[in-house]
Amino acid sequence: MSEPRRLEVLRAIVEDYVHSREPVGSKALVDRHGLGVSSATIRNDMAVLEEEGLITAPHTSSGRIPTDKGYRLFVDRISEVKPLSAPEKRAIQALLEGAEDLDDVVDRTVRILAQLTNQVAVVQFPRLGGAAVRHIEIVLLAPQQVLVVLIATNGTVQQRVVPVPGTLQEAELADLKQRILGAVSGVRLTALPAELAHAAQVLPQHLRHAGGALLKSLEHLAGLGREDRIVLAGTANLARSTVDFPLSIGPVLEALEEQVVMLRLLSEMEQDYRGVSVRIGSENPYGGLSEASVIATGYGPDSGAKLGILGPTRMDYPTTMAAVRAVARYLSRILEE
Amino acid sequence: MSEPRRLEVLRAIVEDYVHSREPVGSKALVDRHGLGVSSATIRNDMAVLEEEGLITAPHTSSGRIPTDKGYRLFVDRISEVKPLSAPEKRAIQALLEGAEDLDDVVDRTVRILAQLTNQVAVVQFPRLGGAAVRHIEIVLLAPQQVLVVLIATNGTVQQRVVPVPGTLQEAELADLKQRILGAVSGVRLTALPAELAHAAQVLPQHLRHAGGALLKSLEHLAGLGREDRIVLAGTANLARSTVDFPLSIGPVLEALEEQVVMLRLLSEMEQDYRGVSVRIGSENPYGGLSEASVIATGYGPDSGAKLGILGPTRMDYPTTMAAVRAVARYLSRILEE
DNA sequence: ACTTGGCACTTGGGTGTGTTGAGTGCCAAT
DNA sequence: ATTGGCACTCAACACACCCAAGTGCCAAGT
C-alpha cells in the first residue's frame, strides 16, 4: 500500500469531485484515471485516507468526498499550479491598462478576478501606510471653514472641510501652512501623528487654537488612508453554487457585507511560499464561512494590501490560485507607475 | 356580489399570503378574517378576482395567491400605510444624527433601512447637480504634475492629480488659477462644461496648452460628482427569502451588482402621490427582477437622489413603504444642515 | 340578485413498499 | 501488497394509496 499512490488517489478524488460534485467511488476512479490497480486496492487506499480524515463518506456505502483536511493536503502537496492561458493574460493586462485612476484600477481588478474565477472577488484598497506626505494644501473657504488636503507620494489624495474656531486671516493661514508643510513634508504617514504632535507644540501662541484644529484634521486624514476599504464583485456567483452551501449562502453574504470581518480575514492571511494563501472551510476563523474557502494574496509595493476570492470549499484550487496570483502581479505592476 | 367585499377579500388574501407564504383558500379566509359570509360566497368572489387577473391558483384546487396585478391594486387602493413605531423612529434619528460625514450618513442610512425592512437596501449618493462651484484649488506637485481640487457648495470635494504637457512655472499656474477661478466661480456644476469651453477660448496663447488639460480635468471632476454611486446593504436578506425567488436569486444579485442597472431603475421611478414609488415584479423593466419588487423614493433638497429597497414581490408593502418614506425624510432633514 | 349548503372532483403531499444500482467492507487466495 | 468474490447497505426512484384542503357548480333559500 504505497504512500505515493494513496496521494494519487486523493488527488483523483478531489479532481473528480470538484468536477462532478458527486461522491466518487472506487470503480469510477479506476475507470476515469489510469491507475494500474484494481478497485479493491483503491478501496483499501480509501479506507486509509478516511482513517486519516482526508476524505469522508456522506453515507455508508457511497463514494467519498474530500474533507477540508483533504483539500488542504491537496493544495499543499499534490496540486500543480495551472498557469493562465495566454488570452486570459492578455485580457487582464489590457483591461487594467485602460484604467483611468486608482478607483478605476481597483474596480477593474475586482471585476476581472470575479470573471476569471467565477467566484466572489475581494480587493482591499491599496494602503497609504508606506507612503509619505508629498504635499499639503490648506484653503480658506469661508471665515471659519478651511479645506485641508493631504497628498501622499503614492498619488492618493484625502481631503476634508474642517471648521476652525475663531476667525483666521489669509496671512495667518499662509503662515500656518508653511509651518505645517515644513514640519511634515516627506514624513511617512505612519509617523505622522508623532510629528504632528511635535509641530503643535512649537506653534506660536496666536496660531495655537486654529492650528490645533488643522493638525488634528490632518491626523484624521492620514488615518482615513489607513482606514481600509474593500470592494466586491461577482456576488452573483454565490447563487450559482448555492448547492455547494448546504446550509445557506446567507451567512456568507453577511460576512461579505461586514467589511470588518473581511478585512480581518484578509489581514490574517499570510502568503506562503507559493505566493498565495489559502483558507479552507473550517480553517476560517469566522463561523459563517465554515463552508467557504478563501484564496488571497498581497499586492503592491509592500504587499500590505490584499486581494483574493471566496467560494465554496469545492472549487478548482490550482486554477483559481493561479488566477489570484496573476491578477495580483499585474495589479502590482500597474501600481508601480 | 359587492365590489367592496371583493376588495376586502383581495386584501385578506394578500395579507394572509404575505404572512404565511402559502396559497390561501376560501375556508381559511372566513376563519381568520371575520368576513360575514360563507366560504362559498368567498369562492364566488375569488373566481371573479381570478377572472380579473388579480389572483391565481398555483394548481387546480389549491388556494390562491396574488398576482403582480393583485399586489398593484392592493398597494394602490386597499392598503393603509402603517406608521413606524416610536422606538423605530427614535432609532433612525439617533443613528443618523451620530454620523460624521456624508459617507457616514449614507452608510448608516442604508444599514438602518436594510435592518428596518429586512430587505436589500439601496441608497444613491446625493447628487452634486444642483450645487455650484465654491472653490477651485490648483497645486503644482511636480514640474509636470498638478493637483486639481474642485469644491462644491454642498461641501463635497473632488480631486485629481493630472499630468500637464510641457513645463509650467509657478507664476503661470497662479495666473491660470485666477483666470479659471474667475470664470467658473459660482457656476452650477451642470453648467460647468459650457463655461469651461468658453474659458478655454479666451486663454492667452502661452497658457492654452497647459490650461486646456486643466480645464478638461475640471470637467471630468464635475462629471465625477454627477457620476452616481449607489450603496447597498442587507444583501444577505435575499438568502433568507430564497424560496420566494422560484428561479434563483442569481439574476437579482447580478442586477444589484450592476450599478448602471440599479441607477437607471431608481431614476425611472417617479414617486407618486403617496410619497413613494413601487415597482412590482414584472413591472420592472429589467428581466432579472421580474420576481422582485422595488420601493423607492427621492430624498434631499430636490428629491433628485433616490433611495429604496428591493425584495421579493411577496412582501409587506404597507410597512415597508412606511419605512422607506420615513428613512428618506429623516435623511433629507439631516442633509439640510 | 345574492348567498349558501351540498356534493363531486382535483391534486399536492405524505406514507409504505419494492427495486435497483453504485458502492462498501471483508476475506481467502495469489 | 494485491485481487476477485461476495454479502451487505443505503440513497434514489417508482408506484400505489390515502388524506386534507380546496375548487366549481348547482339547486334551493332569502
Give the pLDDT confidence score for residue A1 in this predicted structure: 58
The alpha carbons of chain A give a radius of gyration, in whole angstroms, of 26
Listed range (A243-257, A264-278, B143-157, B280-294) with the worst mean pLDDT: B143-157
Per-residue pLDDT of B211-236, as tens digits, reads 888 888 888 877 766 567 899 999 99
Beta strand spans in chain A (E)? 55-56, 65-66, 120-124, 133-142, 145-152, 157-163, 230-233, 277-280, 292-299, 305-312
Percent of chain B with pLDDT over 70: 96
Give the pLDDT confidence score for residue A161 in this predicted structure: 79
Q: pTM for the whole thing?
A: 0.86
Q: Band the pLDDT of A196: cuts 50, 70, 90.
A: confident
Mean predicted confidence (pLDDT) in B92-117: 91
Mean predicted confidence (pLDDT) in B161-188: 82
What the block records as the C-alpha cell of A290 is 465554515
Tell me the backbone φ, ψ of residue A151, rounded to 5 degrees: -110, 125
Average pLDDT, chain A: 88
Contact A306, A124 (CB under 8 A): yes
Contact B108, B96 (CB under 8 A): yes
Give the pLDDT confidence score for residue A270 in this predicted structure: 81
Give the pLDDT confidence score for residue B148 in this predicted structure: 85
Give the pLDDT confidence score for residue B44 in this predicted structure: 95
Mean predicted confidence (pLDDT) in B51-78: 95
A68-72, A190-194, B194-198: range with highest mean pLDDT: A68-72
Residues 125-144 of B with CB under 7 A from strand D: none
Closest CB to A137 among B139, B239, B250: B139
Between CA A244 and C1' C24 the distance (Å) reads: 25
Mean predicted confidence (pLDDT) in A247-275: 89
Distance (Å, whole) CA A298 – CA A305: 5
Q: Which helix (H) or strand (E) holds B193?
A: helix B192-201
Q: Which residue has the higher pLDDT, B247 or A256?
A: A256
Closest to B36 (Cα-Cα) out of B74, B75, B13, B9 = B9
Q: Which residue has the higher pLDDT, B325 or B155?
A: B325
Distance (Å, whole) CA B44 – CA B321: 32
Strand D contact with B46 (CB < 7 A): yes
Q: Flag whether pLDDT at A312 surpasses 80.
A: yes
Nucleotides of C under 7 A from a protein CB: 1-6, 9-12, 22-27
Residues in chain B, overall count: 337
Give the pLDDT confidence score for residue A55 in this predicted structure: 97
Alpha-carbon torsion angle A168, A184, A337, A220, nearest 10: -60
Q: Which residues of B touch A230 (CB under 8 A)?
A: none
C-alpha pair distances (Å), A110 with each of B73, B241, B257 = 42, 27, 12
Contacts A–B by Cβ distance under 8 A: 82
Between CA A118 and C1' D13 the distance (Å) reads: 33
Q: Which residue is nearest to nucleotide C9 (CA to C1')?
A: B61
Between CA A85 and C1' C10 the distance (Å) reads: 58
Mean predicted confidence (pLDDT) in B285-295: 94
**A135–B137: do the CB atoms touch at under 8 Å?**
no
What the block records as the C-alpha cell of A82 is 495551472
Burial (CB count <10 Å: 0-12, 13-18, 19+), residue A163 = exposed
Mean predicted confidence (pLDDT) in A26-35: 89
Give the pLDDT confidence score for residue A225 in this predicted structure: 63
**A236–B242: do the CB atoms touch at under 8 Å?**
no
First to last CA, chain A: 55
Mean predicted confidence (pLDDT) in B305-323: 96
Per-residue pLDDT of A42-77, as tens digits, reads 999 999 999 999 999 999 889 999 999 999 999 999
> How many alpha carbons lie under 13 Å from residue A337 in its C-beta half-sphere?
11
Q: Band the pLDDT of A168: cuts 50, 70, 90.
A: confident
Q: Band the pLDDT of B135: cuts 50, 70, 90.
A: confident
Q: Flag whether pLDDT at B108 surpasses 80.
A: yes
∠ CA A275-A279-A280, rounded to 5°: 130
